[in-house]
């Protein structure tokens, strides 16, 4: 599982002119799921996301987590995070999990993050053509991959 965390002051997702999710201060999380991912990976990644200390404290240092700043999460499924670009100029996506594998993991991630955060996690729509708007704060962008736990 791979996540791109973008610290934002605002982010939203629109599908067919309808806003499906939006947050102010917090993380826009782009989530890629591959066939090899497990619910243990999900638990580890959810904890990382919730506890990542990249929000500014009173001295301007990145010492605060989402909980410390009462931040939100906009979670977007993004299979292209597992694009293979080794050959040619057209990426391959064979590592990305098929919907029958990815959707249950994505839905469980929404549930887990909501539980840990103590509030609703905003989302896009799995597999839809989504228009994402964000105002990256910093910019701060962190990539977390469950294959690099140790």
- Active-site positions read 80
Record the tokens describing residue 149, joined without a space. 């736990």
The answer to whether the CB of 115 falls within 8 A of the CB of 47 is no
Record the tokens describing residue 98, joined without a space. 């098929």
* Residues 50-86: b if buried by 16+ CB within 10 A, e if exposed: bebebbeeeeeeeebebeeeebbbbbbbbbebbeeee
SS3 102: helix
């Amino acid at each position: 599982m791979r996540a791109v965390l973008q610290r934002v002051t605002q982010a939203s997702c629109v599908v067919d002119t309808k806003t499906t999710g939006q947050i102010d201060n917090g993380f826009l999380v782009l989530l890629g799921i591959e066939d090899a991912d497990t619910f243990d990976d999900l638990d580890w990644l959810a904890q990382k996301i919730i506890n990542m200390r990249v929000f500014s404290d009173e001295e301007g240092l990145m010492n605060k987590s989402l909980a410390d700043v009462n931040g939100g999460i906009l979670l977007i499924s993004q299979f292209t995070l597992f694009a293979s670009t080794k050959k040619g100029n057209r990426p391959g996506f064979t590592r990305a999990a098929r919907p029958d594998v990815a959707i249950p993991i994505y839905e469980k991630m929404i549930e887990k993050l909501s539980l840990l955060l103590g509030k609703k996690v905003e989302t896009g729509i799995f597999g839809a053509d989504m228009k994402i708007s964000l105002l990256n704060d910093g910019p701060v962008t962190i990539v977390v991959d469950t294959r690099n736990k140790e």
